[in-house]
Homo-oligomer: A and B are copies of this chain.
Amino acid sequence: MDILPSPQQLRYLIALSEQRHFGRAANVCSVTQSTLSAGILNLERQFDVAILDRTAGKRVVFTPIGEEVIIQAKVALQGLESVRDVIHFVQEPFSSSLRLGIIPTVAPYILPDVIRNIRHNYPKLTLSLHEDLTENLMEKLAIGHLDLLVIAMPCDCSGAETFFLFKDDFFIIMPKDHPLEQFDRIRLDQIEAKEIISLQDGHCLKDQTLDMCRQGQNFKTVSDSHNDFTASSLKTIINMVGIGLGVAFIPKMAIESEIGDRSDIVVRPLDGNPTCRTIGLAWRRNSLRASEFKQFEKVFQNLKI
């Protein structure tokens, strides 16, 4: 016995499970009702299994085994589609659509250049953008609502395949006339935990700077709620620093556009290891477009940051 279900049979079954109606399901499959009905019956006869519960009057009700078969049928059909898709993606990369996710602490600073580069390099690519926190992006990636992410590491990216792009140094900013202003470089242990202003929970940049501090020599503990300010954007943080509420860590890519030549804020590089985050790409494991995505590296080179 080596008979396998045919792609049509699977399509008929899945359409029926979605429509719960032979006529509509047949319509979805662009066949007549009799064809779809016969297809389902063939499937049942070939494998000697009751997929539909025909005691349930005329409503479409699946047996428990039927439900299991439907689940596997979806997986199998996906596999068949992958065969078709891999041909398309390998043969004609950069010619379909790309749903790109990007985190809020990166998006404003590289997106203009990135979009320009993509439009220039891959004019056939239909781009759609989604800005959200890492956790939400990862979720959307996993369920197939997004194709590719731009994230900052370290972060929880288990389940996704990641690809290094570049490093982004952290700087410390402080109000003018702050005691630390006299130093050219600031060591992490010179900074007082309680005067640090950071982003709201969920932003990976907050976790990254906190980790950095914890690893700093004299920084024993950094409380999660060391002050009452919460900000959801770097712009707000910078304004808080500007009016003297504390100091903050800002990634290099944000400095020029957010601070520019403000005279009320002083920027200093950090001493310590590591004092940067890593910007990278992430995609679903086993994505058919992995090789396409890797080539996106060049879109992220020569950015003005």
Question: Which residue numbers of A lie inside 8 Å of B, CB to CB?
Answer: 3-7, 10, 47, 49, 64-65, 68-69, 71-73, 75-84, 86-87, 90-91, 288
Q: A6 touching B5 by the CB < 8 A rule?
A: no
* Distance to closest chain B CB from A67 (angstroms): 10
* Main secondary structure on A side of the interface with B: helix
Q: A72 touching B288 by the CB < 8 A rule?
A: yes
Complex-state Cα separation, A95 to B79, whole angstroms: 28
Q: A82 touching B91 by the CB < 8 A rule?
A: no
Contact of A10 among B71, B83, B86 (CB under 8 A): B83
Q: A69 touching B47 by the CB < 8 A rule?
A: no
Complex-state Cα separation, A46 to B112, whole angstroms: 40
* A83, closest chain B residue (CB): B72
With A4-B7, A6-B6 already in contact, the answer to whether A82 and B90 are too (CB < 8 A) is no
Complex-state Cα separation, A216 to B71, whole angstroms: 47
Complex-state Cα separation, A40 to B86, whole angstroms: 17
Complex-state Cα separation, A169 to B274, whole angstroms: 44
Chain B residues, Cβ within 8 Å of A78: 79
Chain B residues, Cβ within 8 Å of A80: 4-5, 76, 79-80
In the complex, 24 of the A-B residue pairs with CB atoms within 8 angstroms, ordered by the A residue number, are: A3-B84, A4-B80, A5-B7, A5-B84, A6-B6, A6-B7, A7-B7, A47-B84, A49-B87, A65-B87, A65-B90, A65-B91, A68-B90, A69-B83, A69-B86, A69-B87, A72-B79, A72-B288, A73-B83, A75-B79, A76-B83, A77-B79, A79-B80, A80-B80
